[in-house]
């Protein structure tokens, strides 16, 4: 591998990692946070966009594209969830005013697939409340879970309302897996 190829691969990896945090970014933000030369950043993002690894949002910012997301989810056997998760989990974030994390499960450990951050969310914020909801595959085994992080203490009614929303979303994700394994 040449030096230029290695630099391009490193830039590609950093861009995917940044956008994988769930926030769209401008090209200038990506260049700055990934510490890329301007020409390298523009070239790599252009190539990533052409192949569907990144996509532009309506305001011209960049977000993970369908190729990147499906590729990452597929590593855990969850490729069919990608498009459904994009719509439902951003909606859940907004409705619950919570940061929503989709974590894949291998039965023993959990791996963060993607995070939809609430506008108020910071990693170092103390006192976050956590709610967990399982996502089941067609056979009933847990293949993923939703982790909802709320920035305020919820009363019992608010917890139940938030869990009800999350359970509906988890059920729809399970249905998306079922749809993918059923013959057409």
pLDDT in tens, 141-151: 899 999 999 87
Q: Of the candidates 88, 65, 71, 95, which has an alpha carbon nearest to the alpha carbon of residue 135?
A: 88
Q: Any bridge partners for residue 131, and if so which?
A: 148
Question: Which range in 25-29, 116-120, 152-156, 179-183 is most confidently predicted, on average pLDDT?
Answer: 25-29
Higher pLDDT, residue 184 or 123: 123
Look-up of token digits 């769209």? 24
**Mean of pLDDT values over 130-135:** 93
Radius of gyration from C-alpha coordinates of the chain: 18
> Per-residue pLDDT averaged across 26-33, rounded?
95
Q: How many CA atoms lie within 13 A of 20 on its CB side?
A: 21
Query: Does residue 184 have a pLDDT over 80?
Result: no
pLDDT band of 48, cuts 50, 70, 90: very high
Please, which residues bridge with residue 134 across strands?
145
3-state secondary structure of 159: helix
Q: Which pLDDT score, from 0 to 100, does residue 181 have?
A: 58
Q: How far apart are CA 126 and CA 123, in angstroms?
A: 9
Provide the pLDDT confidence category of residue 182 given band limits of 50, 70 and 90: low
Quick one: DSSP state of residue 100?
A: E
Assign 115 to helix, strand or coil.
strand
| Domain 69-181, CATH class in plain words | alpha beta
Mean pLDDT for 78-82 is 86
CATH class of the 3-64 domain in this structure: mainly alpha
What are the residues whose beta carbons fall under 8 Å from the beta carbon of 30, sequence distance 6 or more? 15, 18, 19, 36, 41, 45, 62
One fold for 3-64 and 69-181: no
**pLDDT at 180 (0 to 100):** 65
Predicted structure pTM score? 0.70
Q: What is the pLDDT of residue 63?
A: 92
- Sorted by where each begins, the domain ranges of the chain are 3-64, 69-181
Q: Are 51 and 69 in contact (CB under 8 A)?
A: no
Task: Look at residues 15, 31, 105 and name the one whose alpha carbon lies nearest to residue 64.
Answer: 15
């Amino acid at each position: 591998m040449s030096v230029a190829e290695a630099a391009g691969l490193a830039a590609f990896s950093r861009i995917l990692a940044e956008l994988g945090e769930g926030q769209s970014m401008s090209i200038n933000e990506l260049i700055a946070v990934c510490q890329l030369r301007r020409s390298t950043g523009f070239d790599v993002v252009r190539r990533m966009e052409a192949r569907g690894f990144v996509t532009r949002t309506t305001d011209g910012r960049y977000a993970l594209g369908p190729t990147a997301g499906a590729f990452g989810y597929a590593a855990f056997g969850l490729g069919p969830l990608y498009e459904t998760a994009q719509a439902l989990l951003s909606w859940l974030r907004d409705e619950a005013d919570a940061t929503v994390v989709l974590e894949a499960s291998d039965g023993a450990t959990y791996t963060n697939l993607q995070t939809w951050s609430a506008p108020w969310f910071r990693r170092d914020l103390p006192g976050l409340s956590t709610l967990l909801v399982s996502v089941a595959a067609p056979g009933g085994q847990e293949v993923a879970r939703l982790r909802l992080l709320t920035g305020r203490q919820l009363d019992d009614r608010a917890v139940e309302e938030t869990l009800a929303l999350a359970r509906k979303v988890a059920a729809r994700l399970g249905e998306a897996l079922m749809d993918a394994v059923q013959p057409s």
